[in-house]
Chains A and B, each alone.
Chain A
């Protein structure tokens, strides 16, 4: 499979790899996907007192497109409010990385990771939002 230059660039130089303390009050953790699907993404956001995502980290088990999608998302969420972060759409991720149709699910997974991380943070702080579970069914090209 031929990857786009941007996917290769993120794969070779992934941004913000790592972890925050899962139990920390200012951290929201979202883990989506499943080993059975060949994709597991974990996105963590660190949120300031005034509700701004000041840092983000990820770890991903998955193909190059999955790694690139989550790496990209850590860059994009930084500096955003939680609701701004929730506005990031998988189509934007797919477009930025020039993902082929068979890899669209990677961008959907990354969007779901943001939702899950925000939901986790909000749950820690007493507010709830509906969360949707991740998909790993193949997306028809």
Chain B
């Protein structure tokens, strides 16, 4: 292969913007000081860079820089927020609520807390991926201490109404954590006006480097956490460890760029996404997963009925996309997110996530439509399910020899 595949997996990670990389490099070579070194100019320069980045990150989400804690990424932020808050407030209650469609770094953190004696309600979502506020309210118990939801879902891109959920939590004294890894730079976040207590951020989903993220920890009213990593007392004791100055500078610059270009970039990306959907939905039996309106412009999660996702990926090797079907792992389980939407096994097994980004072009979208259309047609010719459906056989009526 001499040509690179077309990259349509921006929800997995993004390239570091060249402007971001350029800002980072001096902090690896010349300005290499430890930001915690108070006794010389190397340290002062590094500390200054870290604080500028902190302001840049805070500015994108409408926070005070003092509310930003550096972490290694959104997974760590989610761990720190959920474990840190639950353990600190264990005396008040033992109950947490989170939707079934959360990222594994939230779900597995909750599982760990269950092993420690906490109780977790895994909330069902509606068929469009959104949380029903009445059902959430009904799940709240007197001993509920924390609710954690995503702002934007990583697989289906739907946007939860965090303002409404936050208001609900605030009225009951429940801590509200939001995983915004997929949201930063894609949807407006104004923490000065939204009752969110903890918010996880990542750099590498927003054209920054991997290995750096942040947790927003509200100061008014103050949210208290127990640290996970102990040591030199960095980040006001919430996260010890020498700060990676170059990574932090990269995150700050990436967030500053996102703040400047968000509205025009979203408009362009939405146009590309709509073009892609128009092209793909010209085929029969193609379904969009997740709500179309409450959705980031970057995401298109599509099920191509009667075609298995992994074989489809194999047929579109010139495209870098993700399959909702995890057949590549030993589990053979289709996406738990799509299952939580109540999608049939066939549809869950046949899903592909296309995520568009800053460097996607119209020509790439058009090539994608052509490649996918051809591969789906070929695989349907191979599919006994497609043949049966064409003959008018109801697949539900068949006794499948399954486990």
**What residues make up the interface of A, taking CB atoms closer than 8 Å to B?**
1, 3, 8, 11, 14, 17, 19, 31-42, 59-64, 66-67, 101-102, 105, 133-141
Contacts and interface: CB of A to CB of B under 8 A. Distances in A.
B345 A64 contact: no
A64 B228 CA distance: 43
Interface string B367-402: 000000000000001111111000000010000111
B328 A102 contact: yes
B308 A39 contact: yes
Contact of A60 (B325, B330, B349, B382): B382
Contacts of A42: 384
Contacts, number: 96
Contacts of A31: 384
B383 A1 contact: no
Main secondary structure of the interface of A (DSSP, over half): mixed
| Across the A-B interface, the 6 shortest Cβ-Cβ residue pairs | A34-B400, A34-B402, A63-B310, A59-B384, A36-B345, A42-B384
B33 to A, nearest CB: 43
Given A35-B346, A35-B400, A138-B330, A59 B314 contact: no
A31 B349 CA distance: 19
Contacts of A60: 382-384
B361 interface: no
18 contacts: A11-B314, A33-B400, A33-B402, A35-B344, A35-B395, A38-B345, A40-B384, A42-B384, A59-B383, A61-B385, A64-B310, A67-B382, A133-B401, A134-B401, A135-B403, A137-B403, A138-B330, A140-B330
A78 B354 CA distance: 41
Interface residues of B, number: 32
Contact of B314 (A3, A14, A40, A141): A3
Nearest to B385: A61
B395 to A, nearest CB: 7
Given A38-B334, A134-B401, A61 B384 contact: yes
Interface string B42-63: 0000000000000000000000
Given A37-B403, A63-B310, 6 more contacts: A11-B311, A11-B314, A32-B401, A35-B349, A102-B328, A105-B332
B260 to A, nearest CB: 39
A38 B384 contact: no
B290 to A, nearest CB: 21
B327 interface: yes
A137 B308 CA distance: 17
B326 to A, nearest CB: 10
B403 A136 contact: yes
Central interface residue in B310, B327, B349, by most chain A CB within 10 Å? B327
Interface string B305-317: 0111111001100
